[in-house]
Amino acid sequence: MDYIVVMDSGCDLNEDIKEQIPLRIVPLSVVLGEHDFLDENVNLQNFLEEMKRTAVAPRTASPSPSGFHKWFNEADNIFVVTLSSKISSTYNNAILAQTMFLEQQGTGFIHVFDSLTASVGETLIGLKIAELIQNNLKKGEIVERVNQYIQEMRTFFLLDSLEHLIKSGRLNRFAGTVATWLSIKPILGASDEGTIDLIEKVRGSKRAFHRFLEVIGEKGEKMEDKVLGIAHCNCLDKALALKEEIQQRYSFKDVIIVEMGATISAYADEGGILVAY
């Protein structure tokens, strides 16, 4: 099948994954203080340092429909995967691009998936599409199976820093400062609708890490059939330690690690971890 997968920069990748998917990336914009730039080829270390120096929290802006539209002539079959529509308007803009293109061209296959997740969750969906195409499934069956995969996916976050929640006003400054003093670490998760909800607040980094591991097991089913993805924000050692613990405790088919880009790092902040499976 002649196809490409188009994803926004909310997906996080490594070099091995880039070789497995015929991928095109549509970058979101990141606003940090007085600077506004596209999330492509961003030096993450410099970005994180600038975030620390900036008094306000970073923001992201969805790409316009034209960002997606420009790729739709590259193959006869286009699969698009976006950030959850509950946390970004990227999905809606991809749908607009799809409508515009099909009205202009009259023919073609474009399907837009609302990932209901982010980061390596999006990436796993791209890998699933590539796997199903390699298995010679028809387009309709690919859409059906990927939609089921999305519904069954679980996504969890462990934040190390509350600084951006405080800066953005999502957390009262006094309460956030007290929580920081007490080393409160929030564990969050994506709901079935694609919203990000607080699951638990755990005191202490070690306790939070071990509770995070437990949550993965409590919410997981049929692990032997699934790949688990770990995305980290400048904390590879933590990601490797998490991978080792997961492989010792659970029976996932594979565990992959990626580094977060600027889009997800803007919210996860340094030391943040996300898992999807």
- 170 Cβ contact partners less than 8 Å away, ≥ 6 residues apart: none
Q: Tell me how far apart the alpha carbons of residues 8 and 122 are, in angstroms, rounded to a whole number.
A: 9
* Amino acid 148: pLDDT: 98
Nearest to 190 by CA among 80, 274, 79: 274
- Shared domain for 49 and 176, answered yes or no, is no
Residues of the chain with pLDDT under 70: 164-182
Residues 209 and 133 in one domain: no
Of 127, 151, 175, the residue at which a domain comes to its end is 151
Are 95 and 143 members of one domain? yes
144 with 212, same domain? no
pLDDT for 193-236, tens place per residue? Answer: 999 888 888 999 999 999 999 999 999 888 999 999 999 999 99
Number of structural domains in the chain: 2
Q: Is the dihedral of CA 178, 45, 258, 7 positive or negative?
A: positive
Do 146 and 167 share a domain, yes or no? Answer: no
Domain that holds residue 204: 155-276
Q: Give the CATH number for residue 234.
A: 3.30.1180.10
For residues 88 and 161, state if they share a domain: no
* pLDDT single digits (tens) 156-189: 999 998 776 666 555 555 455 555 656 888 899 9
For residue 174, the model assigns a pLDDT of: 46
Q: Which residue in the block uniquely carries the two structure tokens 């095109």?
A: 24
The pLDDT of residue 225 is 94
Tell which of 98, 124, 151 closes a domain.
151
Length of the chain: 277
Q: Coil, strand or helix: which one is 136?
A: coil
| Domain boundary pick from 151, 172, 204 | 151
Same domain, 143 and 169: no
Residues 6+ positions from 110 with CB-CB distance below 8 Å? 72, 78, 80, 98, 101, 102
103 and 61 within one domain: yes
My answer on whether 81 and 211 are in the same domain is: no
Q: Are residues 37 and 135 in the same domain?
A: yes
Looking at the fold, whether 134 and 244 belong to one and the same domain comes out as no
Spatial distance between the Cα atoms of 93 and 19, rounded to a whole number of angstroms: 27
pLDDT for position 255:
98
Q: Check which CATH number belongs to the domain holding 34 and give it.
A: 3.40.50.10170
pLDDT at 166: 64
The verdict on 92 and 160 lying in the same domain is: no
